Amino acid sequence: MEWRNGDLTISDDRSRMDREGVHTFLADSYWARGIPREIVDRSIDNSLCFGLYENGRQIGFARVITDYATFGYLSDVFVLESHRARGLATWLMRVVLGHPDLRGLRRWVLVTRDAQELYRKLGFRDLEDPSRYMEIVDRDAYARR
């Protein structure tokens, strides 16, 4: 599917993704520093992904890890720094959350260090009961590859 706004397009077509550009951004991000290209490719192949494009050039990205029925984990959201402060992340998130294949999910989750205000505007809030959530974190997973 595609959504347009002037010279801007959001598409969920994986074949349009600039995988090298996505990898370059993620490998330098605080949440996926050092991620190998093959892991980025596998994550794109196995998620519902959204590319944000201006005049055909990819300037943003988001992906949802989901069962398409009950749960969605929002991940790897970014807009290139040169294109920020234009409301593009908000538009991207509204498209993601409104995607027809994701309507009616019972639970959405995400993890962010610094974008809480963006996500609060879209309806996300702090965990209702953090004591119910557990995790395994392997900070060296990419280094061992």
Locate 141 and state its tokens. Answer: 């997973």
In angstroms, the CA 64 to CA 99 distance is 11
pTM: 0.92
pLDDT in tens, 108-133: 999 999 999 999 999 999 999 999 99
- The full set of domain ranges for the chain reads 2-132
Average pLDDT over residues 14-33: 96
Fold of 2-132: Aminopeptidase (3.40.630)
The mean of the pLDDT values for the chain is 94
Query: pLDDT band at residue 137, thresholds of 50, 70 and 90?
Result: confident
β-bridge partners, 3? 10
**How confident is the model at residue 139, as a pLDDT?**
84
CA pair distance 78, 17, nearest whole angstrom:
14
Dihedral sign computed on CA atoms, order 124, 129, 132, 134: positive
